[in-house]
Chain A
Amino acid sequence: MNALLIRSRWVILTVVVFVVITLFTAEFQQDQTTAVLASALRQSTPLVFGALCGVLCERSGVVNIGIEGQMLLSAFVGFMVASSTGSLLAGILAGMLTGALMGAGLAGLSVTLQGDQIIAGAVLNIAAFGISSYFFQQGLTLPSGKTPQVSFGPLADLPVVGRVFFINRPLTYLSLILIWVVWFVLFRTRWGLWTRSVGEVPSAAETVGISVARVRYTNLIAGGCLAGLGGAYLSLEAVGSFERMMTNGRGFVALAVMIFGRWNPIGIWGAALLFGYASAVQTQLQFRGWLADDPQFIGMIPYVVCIVVLAGFVGRARPPAAVGQPYSRE
């Protein structure tokens, strides 16, 4: 326990400083603080979905740079289905299915055909961009509107915390639950043990009777469902329509979040909130008219944060040992 405290002292220090600053500002400007924090949570949600997808893939030893494409195409298909059927649930399920199919495609290319995983991911991205642009029609709307807000009665009345965590839309709640579900699956179940062993030393896993191919396929498809939820979140919950290139690099930021979170769902949540916070501050600065003449500099903030964090932390983080290597039995 003591060792754990010492090892994570910087994380704890950051959290403490952050909480103190937040409480301090909340004392004076409760509305703004609440708005920024709520926005940080909203901005972090697609990153959480994407990074959870990434962690499932990488823990089983497959690099997935196609998360961007998975989210983009799921956002598109989810929106088209919800727009034509009028059912948001159908849209969300269609988004998940799209992500899962793309995950299966990535598995086919990288596990069965043993192709290069980075190139396979690039194929997903280009295909998603081409398909969503080709079949996109302007002017479609959601007959049912965005996903509705759900508030947790008395909890929602708590100052700051209530409005940040307990008045949200369904997929946001789902992402908060899934963080713990993925953590539990990875670190407390037999499947998680198999996944991690396949990601570290696949030959040893195969020796004790675990099918590397089956574990990788399952994880890539499950991860695809999560990325699909991230896409559905963008088009059906955050924006309420589809736009070309609407993922805007979030799939790649999600990979940085995954690395920063050290391939651990709980770390990922913290990292995603940090990025969400950077984006929220950006929006807030624009809203208040600071740097109004130079919005481009504000627009850079999340990406610069991403680069700095990646450069500062990746060296110290240790990826699963077998990541990126196709596995064959010989």
Chain B
Amino acid sequence: MRWLKPAAVPLIAVGLALGIGAIVLAVSGANPIEAYGALIDGSLSSQKTIGRTLEKATPLIMGGLAVAFAFRAGLFNIGGQGQLVVGGIFAAAVGFGFEGLPWIIHAPLALLVGAVAGAAWGSIAGLLKATSGAHEVITTIMLNFVALNLTDWLASNSWKDEGILSRTPAVEESAVIPLWGSFPTGFLVAVAASFGCWYLLERTTLGFEIRSVGLNGDAARYAGISVQRIIVATMAISGLLAGAGGAIETQGVIGRYEPGFNAGLGFNGITIALLARNHPLGVIPAALLIGAMEAGGSMMQFNADVAPEITDIIEALMLLFVATPIVVRWFFSHQEIAEVSVTSGWGSS
């Protein structure tokens, strides 16, 4: 039972959120049992639906890691969406741009280029924060809009497919991250990334510096850590994770870049990071949960005639209960529960 203790807050939060979600469903005239039944049916009932859940969970793990990793340095990266689309389109460009490369080179190369493009995009916000103190919450959101316009432009000009749709050509066979039966291989990459983040944060000097800056920037500065450097490095790694998520989506799921892919990932990443309490390994179960809700959403609409946006409401509720541990504390009156804190005033660097 000891392992359950750190999971208590997220589990209760999920339970409360599903409960209130059921009330919302009932109030809006749907049958909650039928709706949740369809949700499970569409996400966990067969090999195929489980595969879809894993497929949906893959970019969510990457997006959740991006947010959780930045949180550890006290940075709030809402720019996962922008970093993801930039990573996605660059992976697509490598994917369709080279012909005749063997798979073992082509697929990892596209993934790497996508990840680096995401890192570059993420480090813009890091540089702005480190040099001028512009708060990353605003700059990353603004950069999301810039990234959407930029990728839109690329997909309708230089890297446009033939035909009228604004999208890139399909990536070459050799750049595809394949399905293994109904199991998406990209999921393994995401799981490996989670372990990699855990190792980096807990077992390396850089990870120690990142955590020091997150816990107390002034103390870190006095200890001789360059806070500016850590801010830029953290945002770059955070962007790298989101960019790799976009690359996996391009190479493993959609097969090309098209505008509007995986909208809303930025928000989901926040929910997942907080559900996981910023632990890189906790991101995996949290992303599986949200992934299952996304995979089952269409079944819910089909079988129970419920708009899939109900899952957004449930996610907001989860976030609410995770972010305010005091609510959950009513259940565990005598246990101390660590609080999450990211707020630092505008312009502090």
Residues of A within 8 A of B (CB): 63, 65, 109, 113-120, 122-123, 125-127, 129-131, 133-135, 249, 252-253, 255-256, 259, 293-294, 296-297, 299-300, 303-304, 306-307, 310-312, 314-315, 317-319, 323-325
Shortest Cβ gap from B328 to chain A (Å): 11
| Cβ-closest 7 pairs across A and B | A130-B312, A296-B153, A127-B316, A134-B309, A130-B313, A133-B309, A296-B149
**Contact in complex: A319, B138 (CB < 8 Å):** no
**Contact in complex: A252, B138 (CB < 8 Å):** yes
**Contact in complex: A134, B312 (CB < 8 Å):** yes
Most chain B CB atoms below 10 A, which of A109, A122, A299: A122
**1/0 contact trace for B314-334 toward A, CB 8 Å?**
111101100110110000000
Residue B98 at the A interface, CB < 8 A?
A: no
Residue B347 at the A interface, CB < 8 A?
A: yes
Which B residues are in CB contact (< 8 Å) with A109? Answer: 320, 323-324
**Contact in complex: A117, B312 (CB < 8 Å):** no
**Contact in complex: B141, A249 (CB < 8 Å):** yes
Shortest Cβ gap from A104 to chain B (Å): 14
Which B residues are in CB contact (< 8 Å) with A123? Answer: 316, 319-320, 323
Which A residues are in CB contact (< 8 Å) with B324? Answer: 109, 113, 115, 120
Docked Cα-Cα span, A255 to B324, in Å, equals 24
Which B residues are in CB contact (< 8 Å) with A304? Answer: 142, 146
**Contact in complex: B343, A116 (CB < 8 Å):** yes
Across the two chains, which residue of chain B brings its CB closest to A324?
A: B343
**Contact in complex: B319, A134 (CB < 8 Å):** no
Which A residues are in CB contact (< 8 Å) with B274? Answer: 119
Shortest Cβ gap from A64 to chain B (Å): 11
Contact residue among B152, B313, B320, B327 (Cβ-Cβ distance under 8 Å from A131): B313
**Contact in complex: A119, B307 (CB < 8 Å):** no
**1/0 contact trace for B291-323 toward A, CB 8 Å?**
000000000000000010111111111011001
Across the two chains, which residue of chain B brings its CB closest to A62?
A: B343
Which A residues are in CB contact (< 8 Å) with B150? Answer: 296, 300
**Contact in complex: B149, A259 (CB < 8 Å):** no
Which A residues are in CB contact (< 8 Å) with B128? Answer: 307, 310-311
11 A–B pairs (Cβ distance < 8 Å), ordered by A: A109-B323, A118-B343, A130-B311, A134-B312, A256-B142, A296-B156, A300-B146, A304-B142, A306-B138, A314-B133, A318-B347
Residue B344 at the A interface, CB < 8 A?
A: yes
Which B residues are in CB contact (< 8 Å) with A317? Answer: 346-347
Residue B183 at the A interface, CB < 8 A?
A: no
**Contact in complex: B316, A120 (CB < 8 Å):** no
Residue B139 at the A interface, CB < 8 A?
A: yes
Contact residue among A116, A252, A306 (Cβ-Cβ distance under 8 Å from B341): A116
Docked Cα-Cα span, A254 to B290, in Å, equals 31
Docked Cα-Cα span, A129 to B264, in Å, equals 10
Interface hits, B83-138 → A, CB 8 Å = 128, 131-135, 137-138
**Contact in complex: A117, B343 (CB < 8 Å):** yes
Docked Cα-Cα span, A255 to B319, in Å, equals 23
**Contact in complex: B341, A315 (CB < 8 Å):** no
Docked Cα-Cα span, A324 to B78, in Å, equals 18
Shortest Cβ gap from B308 to chain A (Å): 9
Contact residue among B78, B267, B327, B339 (Cβ-Cβ distance under 8 Å from A129): B267
Shortest Cβ gap from B288 to chain A (Å): 19
Interface hits, B137-165 → A, CB 8 Å = 137-139, 141-146, 149-150, 152-153, 156-157
Shortest Cβ gap from A159 to chain B (Å): 36
Which B residues are in CB contact (< 8 Å) with A133? Answer: 307, 309, 312
**Contact in complex: B312, A307 (CB < 8 Å):** no
Residue B200 at the A interface, CB < 8 A?
A: no
Which A residues are in CB contact (< 8 Å) with B289? Answer: none
**Contact in complex: A294, B132 (CB < 8 Å):** no
Known contacts A116-B341, A303-B146; is-contact A134 B134 (Cβ 8 Å): no
Across the two chains, which residue of chain A brings its CB closest to B24?
A: A134
Shortest Cβ gap from B316 to chain A (Å): 4
**Contact in complex: B340, A116 (CB < 8 Å):** yes
Across the two chains, which residue of chain A brings its CB closest to B132?
A: A311
Residue B174 at the A interface, CB < 8 A?
A: no
Docked Cα-Cα span, A122 to B133, in Å, equals 21
Docked Cα-Cα span, A143 to B203, in Å, equals 64
Known contacts A256-B138, A307-B139, A324-B345; is-contact A134 B310 (Cβ 8 Å): yes
Known contacts A123-B316, A129-B267, A307-B143; is-contact A319 B346 (Cβ 8 Å): yes
Known contacts A65-B137, A119-B274; is-contact A126 B319 (Cβ 8 Å): yes
Shortest Cβ gap from B251 to chain A (Å): 24
Contact residue among A114, A115, A129 (Cβ-Cβ distance under 8 Å from B312): A129
**Contact in complex: B323, A310 (CB < 8 Å):** no
Which A residues are in CB contact (< 8 Å) with B346? Answer: 63, 259, 314, 317, 319, 323
Which B residues are in CB contact (< 8 Å) with A294? Answer: 153, 157
Known contacts A126-B267, A297-B153; is-contact A303 B142 (Cβ 8 Å): yes
Residue B46 at the A interface, CB < 8 A?
A: no
Docked Cα-Cα span, A314 to B76, in Å, equals 18
**1/0 contact trace for B12-31 toward A, CB 8 Å?**
00000000000010001000
**Contact in complex: A113, B270 (CB < 8 Å):** no
**Contact in complex: A125, B327 (CB < 8 Å):** no
Docked Cα-Cα span, A42 to B216, in Å, equals 44
Shortest Cβ gap from B83 to chain A (Å): 15
Across the two chains, which residue of chain B brings its CB closest to A317?
A: B347
Docked Cα-Cα span, A23 to B145, in Å, equals 33
